[in-house]
């Protein structure tokens, strides 16, 4: 028990070590807030897609019928978990009915529904499992569902405008394209140049680029924390309620979803088919909440506060979630 808690705390310490430079660079004026747009695009359009390709292409498991069936189950669990959490978040914040609170309510529901399952989730699972290929691939499959839903349900949530629901963006954004490329390389090992011993050097392309994901993501967290007044971050009770939905309730609901399968031992040989969705849903808020609020005229500062506060509180909640799911 103690070993798991210590291990998760050390992983979070490693991740948050990258937030400190962002905090200091912002406080000393060496980084401007408007530069985050460019950094976020590098993260979203370059580092994360290559991280996804790496998960499927570098030392993957064999593309067997059982593995593909496992992917399908993770897809189903992922859709159910995100939609179930969305419904729960809508109920939790139903009390915010006043028109002037609508934009804040939408941000809170977004934060509660969507996790940082890619920027933090994939590196976290890599470190927690010691690079277990199956575990990393299953949490990467979760991200396929996440990318589709965040560009449809997420966009509608922030705008309340069905015209902003973009299936095109959901299918053609860099992360979805990276998922398709990675999956094709996984299915056809003969053309997978990132896993050929004869050209082993080429795998460093996806290894190094994908490795940028966690540091860049946490640098952004550090900058966001530095630019927000303490009063904005810590004095709004609804932000804590959103953190509860995001970090505890979502993981608990997902755990209840997979519990019958766990108790019956259906996936005893492949435990991460069940655990990957729970771990992904236990991650801190998706960084996209800030970008979406800025893009669609939402509550930018409030979104940044909810994102930063939830990320900081995940240090406390994640060890206990991981302790629960690994029992």
- Here the tokens at position 191 are 């053309």
The whole-number pLDDT of residue 167 equals 76
Least-confidence region, from 64-73, 97-106, 210-219: 97-106
The span from the CA of 77 to the CA of 3, in Å, is 28
Tens digits of residue pLDDT in 157-170: 877 777 767 777 77
The whole-number pLDDT of residue 164 equals 67
CATH architecture of 2-325: Up-down Bundle (1.20)
Q: Which residues have a Cβ under 8 Å from the Cβ of 319 and sit 6 or more positions away?
A: 4, 5, 8, 9, 12
Contact by Cβ (8 Å): 123, 109: no
Tell me the pLDDT band of 1, cut-offs 50, 70 and 90: low
The span from the CA of 277 to the CA of 76, in Å, is 10
The span from the CA of 131 to the CA of 134, in Å, is 9
Contact by Cβ (8 Å): 109, 308: no
Tell me the pLDDT band of 297, cut-offs 50, 70 and 90: low
pTM, 2 dp: 0.90
Q: DSSP letters of 75-120?
A: HHHHHHHHHHHHHHHHHHTTT--SGGGHHHHHHHHHHHH-B-TTTT
Tens digits of residue pLDDT in 139-150: 999 998 998 898
């Amino acid at each position: 028990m103690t070993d798991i808690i210590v291990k998760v705390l050390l992983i979070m310490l490693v991740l948050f070590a990258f937030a400190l430079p962002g905090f200091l660079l912002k406080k000393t004026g060496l980084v401007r807030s408007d530069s985050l747009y460019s950094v976020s695009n590098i993260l979203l359009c370059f580092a994360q897609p290559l991280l996804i390709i790496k998960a499927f292409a570098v030392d993957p498991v064999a593309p067997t019928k059982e593995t593909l069936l496992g992917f399908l189950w993770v897809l189903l669990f992922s859709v159910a978990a995100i939609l179930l959490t969305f419904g729960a978040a809508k109920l939790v914040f139903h009390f915010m009915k006043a028109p002037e609170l609508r934009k804040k309510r939408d941000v809170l529901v977004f934060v509660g529904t969507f996790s940082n399952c890619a920027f933090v989730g994939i590196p976290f699972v890599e470190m927690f499992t010691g690079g277990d290929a199956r575990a990393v691939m299953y949490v990467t499959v979760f991200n396929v569902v996440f990318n589709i839903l965040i560009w449809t349900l997420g966009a509608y949530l922030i705008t309340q405008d069905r015209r902003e629901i973009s299936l095109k963006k959901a299918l053609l954004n860099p992360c979805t394209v990276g998922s398709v490329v990675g999956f094709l390389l996984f299915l056809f090992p003969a053309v997978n140049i990132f896993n050929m011993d004869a050209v082993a050097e080429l795998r460093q392309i996806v290894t190094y680029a994908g490795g940028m994901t966690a540091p860049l993501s946490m640098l952004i967290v550090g900058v966001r924390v530095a630019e927000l007044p303490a009063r904005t971050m810590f004095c709004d009770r609804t932000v804590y309620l959103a953190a509860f939905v995001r970090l505890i309730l979502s993981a608990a609901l997902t755990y209840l979803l997979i519990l019958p399968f766990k108790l019956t031992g259906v996936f005893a040989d492949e435990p991460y088919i069940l655990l990957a969705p729970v771990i992904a849903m236990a991650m801190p808020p998706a960084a996209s909440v800030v970008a979406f609020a800025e893009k669609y005229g939402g509550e930018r500062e409030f979104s940044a506060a909810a994102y930063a506060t939830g990320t900081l509180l995940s240090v406390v909640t994640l060890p206990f979630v991981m302790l629960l799911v690994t029992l």
